[in-house]
Amino acid sequence: MAHRKEHRRAKARSAPPLGDPDPVLDVMVRELGRSMEGFDVPGSPRPYFMGYTLRRERSLQLRAAYGSLLRRRETMRARLYCEVRVGDHHFDNVMDAGLDVDADARESTDWVDAPDDLDPVALQVALWKLGQIKLDEALEDYYDHKKALVSEYLRDEVDAFTKEPPLSHREALHDEPLPRERWEAMLREASRVFLSHPEFHDPTISLTVDRHQRWLATTEGTRVITENVYCHVDVGGWILTEDGVYTEATQQRYTRSIDAVPDAEGLAAMVDQVLRDLASLRDAETPGAFIGPALLAGQAASTLFHEALGHRLEGDRLVARGETRTFAHKVGKRILPAGLDVYDDPTLADAQGHPVWGGYRVDDQGVPAQRARLVEDGVLRGFLHGRTPTRHSRRSNGHGRHDGLSAPMSRMAHLVVEGRPDRSLSWDQLEQRLLELARAQGRAEAIVIIRVHGGETATSSYDFQVFKGEPAEVWALDAETGERRRLRDVELIGTPLAAMQRVVAFGGDPQVDEGYCYAESGSIPVSGACPALLLSEIELQQRSSTGFHEPLLPPPFADDGSRGRTMDERKRGRRRKR
């Protein structure tokens, strides 16, 4: 790999005027100038790029059960992130796209707090201290990178850092109080219904609202101010089955607007659905292991694509030595059935009628959000890119993201799978094809997965290349009659390449999947949309291996004085007394 032996300090380019002066940005720009002028260690490379990010996060957390408020937390925290790159755009201190850096173990992590009141003097002191430590870490990493060249051929490195035009982007910031008292009353009232269901364990209703305000300034001249709101409602509980398995049911709502938080009627509907699911799961069966054809509804199919495909299309993984680079050599080759397109677009205004959970306007490296073309008609066309160059792209497509502590890397935002209309089938047609597949394979049953709780995967070359999903609602269909029965206590497992090749049909209305995704750059909001998928074969494994017994005593609010009987027997006893 070629790199320059002499490194020159890059000059900051002036960005266009941002509008009214912002005191936070002014402090960040002032300290950037001091640092670029003064960070000069004799005999060592100087910084060619620096960036400061300030994140102020206001969070409200409410949790209720049995008519009581179990938690009320309203907090505000301001944290800094500093990126220092020494060397030049061709070779610098970042190796393996930074994926192997454990941010929590570094000294700089102890100096990321910013003053809550954003006082300019205290803020500049915090920036100054963090910048000094990040420079020391960057120089250590630079020499480690040089050392690696002695013993290894870093064949997948192209350059160190993309060159992007400076960006000026400013959004209004808000500080109006949240309607906490109204929400508290709503959660208390909705949770009273749990008092009538002592057979369900640990039922809760949670509401979390986060308002994220972000200031970003770089030596390239980028100046960004953004605000995002994330609201999450979670209703859940557990049922203990006769074979001693705790099984969970949940209902979740994600919204980007305070006004779109479910009202009392909407919350009551979520609670009712969870209670119905728990009752259904109590009588559900567990099949142990299963292999055969399956139909995945859109939400479950979206999770499958996220885990099996999406993470392997994150461009930073193409240059990291510890990654398997599953699709690195498959650009221009078929990886999905004809008729399927895949792209990631954080700029979409809404999905299925509401704002995109994983959407944003500017990524965490100061690059405008863009649609990333990934798969066209089943053929791989590209990858998600932040500012780490790869052999496939020397520019970012606006997907550099992080949690504010770990280094940014290319990540998914809103992953969309679309089936071309001329090849799409209706849900009824897909279900009919499912039963035909089962009979052709000599299977007694086929599987329908409606929803999943979540999933995980491994992309490291050290691990097996597998993914896993946790179904929330799964049914077995009799291959001859189509009669269905509810299943529980199973996990969906598979290998990414095999799973993608087993998609034999798709269609129906697309459904949205939303939540948080954790990877090397931390936990970030993501979403996706996908039609239903018919797979010729999936594998399910039993999830639990430990059995539990009912509590010796019933909940205090349901204690009728009886002892030594199961909860179901106590319930039947109460009904007889009435």
Residue 436 has pLDDT above 90, yes or no: yes
DSSP per residue over 504-545, as a string?
Answer: EEEEEEEEEEEEEEEETTEEEEEEEEEEEEEEEEEEEEE---
Output phi, psi for 377, to 5 deg: 55, 35
Kindly report the average pLDDT of the chain as a whole number. 91
Amino acid at 285: E
**Res. 16 pLDDT band, cuts 50 70 90:** very low
Beta bridge partners of 474: 449, 487
The token pair at 117 is: 């009141």
Q: What is the pLDDT of residue 7?
A: 32
Q: What is the pLDDT of residue 572?
A: 45
Distances in Å between the Cα of 551 and the Cα atoms of 166, 350, 560, 569 are 62, 46, 15, 13
Q: What is the pLDDT of residue 530?
A: 97
pLDDT in tens, 101-146: 999 999 999 999 999 999 999 999 999 999 999 999 999 999 999 9
Residue 570 has pLDDT above 60, yes or no: no
Between 346 and 466, where is the model more confident? Answer: 346
Exposure string (b/e) for 184-220, b if CB count within 10 Å is 16 or more?
eebbbebbebbeebbbbbebbbbbebbbbbbbbbbbb
Strands (DSSP E) found in 130-185: 168-170
Least Cα distance to 34 among 108, 125, 103 occurs for 125
Residue 230 has pLDDT above 50, yes or no: yes
Q: Are 222 and 366 in contact (CB under 8 A)?
A: yes
| 500 sits in which H/E element | helix 496-501
Comparing 93-102, 177-186, 217-226, 561-570, the range with the smallest average pLDDT is 561-570
Least Cα distance to 488 among 203, 296, 281, 304 occurs for 281
pLDDT in tens, 258-287: 999 999 999 999 999 999 999 999 999 988
Residue 576 has pLDDT above 90, yes or no: no
Percent of the chain with pLDDT over 90: 82
Between 461 and 452, where is the model more confident? Answer: 452
Distances in Å between the Cα of 107 and the Cα atoms of 31, 111, 125, 204, 521 are 20, 8, 17, 38, 17
The token pair at 407 is: 């280094």
Q: What is the pLDDT of residue 6?
A: 33
Residue 12 has pLDDT above 50, yes or no: no
Instruction: Specify the DSSP class assigned to residue 318.
Output: G
pLDDT in tens, 315-330: 999 999 988 889 999 9
Q: Are 15 and 223 in contact (CB under 8 A)?
A: yes
Question: Is the Cα dihedral 120, 125, 129, 132 positive or negative?
Answer: positive
Fold of 23-282: PmbA/TldD fold (3.30.2290)
**Res. 567 pLDDT band, cuts 50 70 90:** very low
The token pair at 511 is: 């459904």
Q: Where in the chain is the domain with CATH 3.30.2290.10?
A: 23-282
State pTM to two decimals.
0.92
pLDDT in tens, 336-389: 999 999 999 999 988 777 789 999 999 999 999 999 999 999 999 999 999 999
Residue 189 has pLDDT above 90, yes or no: yes
Mean pLDDT on 45-54? 98
9 three-state secondary structure: coil
Q: What is the pLDDT of residue 19?
A: 52
Instruction: Specify the DSSP class assigned to residue 16.
Output: P
Instruction: Specify the DSSP class assigned to residue 441.
Output: T
**Res. 5 pLDDT band, cuts 50 70 90:** very low
Q: What is the pLDDT of residue 497?
A: 85
Mean pLDDT on 457-469? 84
* CA distance linking residue 410 with residue 418, whole number of Å: 22
Comparing 192-196, 349-353, 505-509, the range with the smallest average pLDDT is 349-353
pLDDT in tens, 233-266: 999 999 999 888 999 999 999 999 999 999 999 9
